[in-house]
């Protein structure tokens, strides 16, 4: 009996030692992410530590790069075989880069991971051919920001979510006076507005189709804001027309403009007027189809620790992680249940912020883009400004972009 006890004890000690040795085997994961500030980096670092808190044997080392550089570096890192285990990805870039990422459908099915907890449009945005390549952490529908003081001074009732193009144009016309404009537009707004109105610029096969009647009609309306109605200022084909327009909005020179919820935090400190939020205008006789964008995390196909990376990205997009990001005002969570936390923090001083986002998310659709979308957006940036200035019409502009995008 004594011998048996001793044997069992030794076996137990040996087993526990073996188990300890096994659990002590550290898995080091690398994670590449963009960051705009030290506060941003601190937030991401906190998420990396959440992974280790849940899985002590997994350590995540974060590397951050500025937003613009991130997308230049990503293909270079991939080409030189230096991708991190966890690759951060924006939905609009997914068609370009999905080949670098591990398909997740099998893992999702095996672990019964609840994809239904996320806003459907961002799951669509992180997917290619119905295969999910990344778990999203945020989602954002494009919306209209307005200068509430300017609207009230002009006697315009605050726009309700779901307002129509006619109501929008009427308000913008009333707000355009004394050298100020009712609306600020950028070339990149084309696809966002065309989608909202239900116009198709990508065909059912996923190819760019800018020369169909629907796409040209939308371009005519977008160009008309500046060229015909004169309710929007002209913009140059610059590196970042969006920043110029945002600056004009913050200075009170433009009363309404299109942006995503990701801009709320920075904007509140800059604008000296009350800011309100509403949906994109819908076509008068159609429902709104608000496109969304968002970002998430995928597993590099080159990773040697794919199982650990799968565990890690589940933590990075867990309710706790998204709650943390929401409380920091960092991102409108991709998980539907966590979104109200973000409204309470980030959108609390914004008139109708929660309502506008709720309505937009309820009417959201995946953003239709092609696999050369970055090139197409560059061409929008080059060829829409002359049209805004009246030196080309919608048809010519779309034909030129369509032709050059196919080179």
Partner 1 sequence: MSESAVAEIGLRPAQPRRLLKPETQTAMLFLLPSFLGFMIFMALPILASLALSFTNWQLLTTPSFVGFQNYIKLFTVDPAFYTILGNTLFFAVEYLAVNIIVSLTLAVWISSLKRGKAIFRVIFFLPTFTPTIAASVVWLLIFTPDGLADSVIRWLGLGLPNFLLSSSWAMQAVVLVTLWANVGYNVVMFNAALDLVPKHYLEAAMIDGAGPWRRFWRIRLPLISPTVFFATVMTAITSLQVFDEIFAMTRGGPGSATATLGFAIYQKGFTNFQMGYASALAWVMFVMIMGLTILQFHMQRKWVHYDD
> Which residue ranges make up the site for partner 1 (CB under 8 A)?
72, 75-76, 78-79, 96-97, 99-100, 179, 233-239, 244, 372, 374-375, 378, 381-383, 385-386, 389, 391-392, 400, 403-404, 407
Nearest approach in angstroms of CB 247 to partner 1 is: 8
Q: At closest approach, how far in Å is the CB of 96 from partner 1?
A: 7
Residue number, 50 or 376, with CB nearest to partner 1:
376
CB of 97 to partner 1, least distance (A): 7
Residue 52 or residue 65: which is nearer to partner 1 going by CB?
Answer: 65
359 contacts 279 by C-beta, under 8 angstroms: yes
Residue 335: phi and psi, rounded to 5, are: -80, 125
Q: Which is nearer to partner 1, 54 or 230 (CB)?
A: 230
| Min dist. Cβ of residue 71 to partner 1 (A) | 8
Q: Provide, rounded to whole angstroms, the least separation between the CB of residue 299 and partner 1.
A: 16
Long-range contacts of residues 391-398, Cβ cutoff 8 Å, at least 24 apart: 393/220, 393/223, 394/216, 394/217, 394/219, 394/220, 394/223, 395/211, 395/216, 397/219, 397/223, 398/210, 398/211, 398/215, 398/216, 398/219
Read off the tokens for 273.
């007027």
d(CA 59, CA 79): 25
Closest approach of Cβ 181 to partner 1, in Å? Answer: 9
Half-sphere exposure of 216 (CA within 13 A, CB side): 13
Say if residues 390 and 227 touch (Cβ distance below 8 Å): yes
CB atoms within 10 A of CB 5: 9
Q: Assign 6 to helix, strand or coil.
A: helix
| Structure-block tokens of residue 326 | 């929401």
Contact in structure between 177 and 253 (CB atoms under 8 Å): no
* Cβ 202 to partner 1 shortest distance, Å: 17
Complex with partner 1: residue 234 or 345, whichever CB lies closer: 234
177 vs 286, beta carbon nearer partner 1: 177
- Which C-beta is closer to partner 1: that of 107 or that of 180? 180
Q: How far apart are CA 265 and CA 51, in angstroms?
A: 26
Least distance between partner 1 and beta carbon 382 (Å): 4
**Closer residue to partner 1 in complex, CB, 358/377:** 377
Residue 354 or 389 with smaller CB distance to partner 1: 389
β 127-128/135-136 pair status: unpaired
């Amino acid at each position: 009996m004594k011998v048996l006890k001793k044997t069992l004890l030794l076996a137990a000690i040996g087993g526990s030692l073996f188990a300890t040795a096994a659990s002590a085997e550290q898995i080091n994961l690398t994670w590449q992410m963009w960051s705009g500030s030290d506060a941003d980096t601190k937030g991401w670092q906190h998420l990396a530590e959440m992974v280790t808190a849940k899985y002590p044997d997994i350590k995540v080392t974060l590397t951050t790069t500025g937003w613009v550089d991130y997308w230049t570096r990503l293909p270079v890192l991939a080409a030189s075989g230096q991708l991190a285990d966890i690759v951060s990805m924006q939905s609009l870039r997914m068609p370009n880069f999905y080949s670098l990422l591990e398909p997740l459908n099998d893992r999702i099915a095996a672990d019964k991971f609840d994809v239904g907890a996320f806003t459907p449009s961002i799951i669509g945005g992180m997917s290619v051919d119905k295969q999910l390549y990344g778990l999203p952490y945020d989602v954002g529908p494009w919306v209209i920001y307005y200068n509430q003081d300017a609207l009230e001074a002009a006697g315009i009732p605050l726009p309700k979510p779901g307002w129509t193009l006619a109501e929008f144009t009427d308000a913008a016309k009333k707000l355009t006076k004394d050298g100020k404009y009712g609306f600020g537009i950028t070339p990149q707004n084309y696809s966002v507005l065309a989608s909202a109105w239900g116009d198709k610029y990508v065909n059912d096969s996923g190819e760019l189709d800018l020369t169909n009647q629907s796409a040209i009609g939308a371009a005519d309306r977008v160009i008309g804001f500046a060229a015909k109605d004169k309710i929007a200022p002209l913009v140059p084909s610059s590196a970042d027309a969006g920043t110029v327009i945002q600056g004009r909005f913050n200075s009170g020179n433009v009363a309404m403009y299109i942006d995503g919820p990701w801009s709320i935090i920075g904007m509140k400190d800059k604008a000296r007027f009350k800011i309100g939020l509403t949906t994109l205008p819908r076509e008068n006789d159609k429902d709104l189809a608000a496109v969304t964008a968002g970002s998430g995390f995928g597993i590099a196909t080159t990773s040697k620790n794919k199982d650990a990376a799968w565990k890690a990205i589940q933590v990075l997009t867990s309710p706790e992680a998204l709650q943390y990001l929401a409380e920091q005002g960092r991102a409108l969570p991709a998980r539907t249940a966590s979104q109200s936390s973000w409204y309470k923090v980030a959108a609390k001083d914004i008139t109708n912020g929660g309502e506008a986002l709720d309505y937009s998310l309820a009417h959201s659709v995946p953003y239709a883009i092609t696999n050369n979308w970055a090139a197409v957006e560059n061409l929008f940036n080059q060829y829409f400004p002359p049209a805004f200035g009246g030196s080309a019409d919608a048809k010519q502009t779309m034909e030129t972009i369509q032709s050059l995008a196919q080179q």
